[in-house]
Structures are given as C-alpha cells and as structure tokens.
Amino acid sequence: MSDRMPRSSADRASRRATLRAVAALSAVLAASRLHQSAAAQATPTAETLGTGALFVQSFSQGTIMATQGDSTTSPPWTLILWEATARDVLFTDPANHAAGVVTADEILAALGTAAEPTPVVVIAQGVDEGTPTGEGESAWAMTLSLGSLGSDPGAVTYQGALLEAAEAQAALGLPSVAAVNGVQNLGPGYLVLLGLEHVDLGAGSVRFASG
C-alpha cells in the first residue's frame, strides 16, 4: 500500500497560492534590479525614477492593444488586466527599508495625480492564437498616463505608450522587450510600476532594520 496521501483540492489551491507568492517575490526582485539599473542610467527618465518604491500588481490575464476611437488626444495604447483589483498590490521601498501592500484603488488614485507618465514593466506569459498556454514569460515596457476600473468586475484599464527596445534599454535597463503587433494577449503575470509617487505606504507596511 502506498504511504502517499491523496492531495485534496484545498492542498492544490494552497500550493498554487504559494507558487504565485514566490513568483511575485521573484518579480519584485527582478524589478528591483531593473530599478537600480535605471537609476544608474544618465537619462532624464532614469533620474525621475530615483530609488523610490516599486509596486507589483498581479493579474490572471490581460490584453495590450492600440487604443480604440478617433480621439487624437488619447494615449496610443491600452492595457486591460483582469482579476487585478481583488488582490492587494505588493510594494517594496528600499530607501526606507520597508515592504507591504496597498490597494489597487490607491494605485489608480496616485496615477491620476502624477505629473508625468509612470514607467511600468509588464511581465507575463504571451498568449497567441494556437498557443493558449503561452511559451514562457516576456516583458513589455510602457509609460502609463491614465488608469481606471474596467467595465468587467475586477478589471483595470490603463492607457499609455509602449517603449521601443532602445527606449526601454535607456530608461529601464531592460536588455530586450517583446513587440506588440496589433493585439497582444497575456496570460498570468505582473505589472511592475516604477517611480510612482503620492501613495500612502504607512498602512500594511513592514519596516526592516538595516544591516
């Protein structure tokens, strides 16, 4: 008789939650390296990033596409993320030795008061027609100008501009970014916001003593 106990659905759900938490931490660490690289770049964009907090928002799926409509004043690209508001946004604040969580609403409010577009990196599985499970994770770099709750429950809609490879390298230190041709569907992933100010980091934060 096997001494292995059958795994319940709760066990599997717990394991998936643990794996996603580990993936979120990995995304934060990756973003920290990008952030430090960006701060070292001698460009105006990099200077505005400084060494402030980083925010990581998870989502179950998403879409990057050209903004619909005839308005010439709207940002050229739209990013829609599903199942993004029910989960808290993880942040790390190296300058103040702190980490914690804030809500998606706080991020959207801060984005609405930002004087300049906010640099972000989208890290997700790319999903194309015929390959529904994706083929590994890729990164897309953008600058966000607008953000609002989406029409679907739990969804968030962002608008901004995609960065070309050279711009992403200069501003964020990214060695490469994925291209978007028309519409890019995304699997599970993370939105990493850099240089976003005016977010209250007091509630829910944990402060670490410096070594």
- Domain membership flag for residue 99: yes
Question: What pTM does this model have?
Answer: 0.74
**Contact present, 128 and 78 (Cβ < 8 Å):** no
- Domain membership flag for residue 6: no
With H, G, I as helix, E, B as strand and everything else as coil, classify residue 30. helix
pLDDT at 47: 41
- Domain membership flag for residue 208: no
- Domain membership flag for residue 5: no
- Domain membership flag for residue 118: yes
Cα–Cα distance for residue pair 169/182, rounded to 1 Å: 22
> Is 115 or 9 the better-scoring residue by pLDDT?
115
- Domain membership flag for residue 1: no
Whole-angstrom CA distances from 207 to 45, 48, 123 are 28, 24, 27
pLDDT at 77: 93
E strands in the chain: 54-59, 61-66, 77-82, 89-93, 98-102, 118-127, 137-149, 156-162, 183-194, 205-207
The mean of the pLDDT values for the chain is 74
Kindly state the tokens that stand for 121: 């990196």
pLDDT tens for 60-110 read: 999 999 998 777 788 899 999 999 988 788 888 877 778 888 889 989 998
- Domain membership flag for residue 145: yes
> Is 131 or 179 the better-scoring residue by pLDDT?
179
**Contact present, 205 and 98 (Cβ < 8 Å):** yes
pLDDT tens for 101-152 read: 888 998 999 888 888 888 888 988 777 654 444 456 788 999 999 999 988 8
> Is 138 or 8 the better-scoring residue by pLDDT?
138
The pLDDT of residue 33 is above 80: no
In one-letter notation, the amino acid at residue 21 is: A
Q: Number of folded domains in the chain?
A: 1
The boundaries of the domain holding residue 109 are 11-202
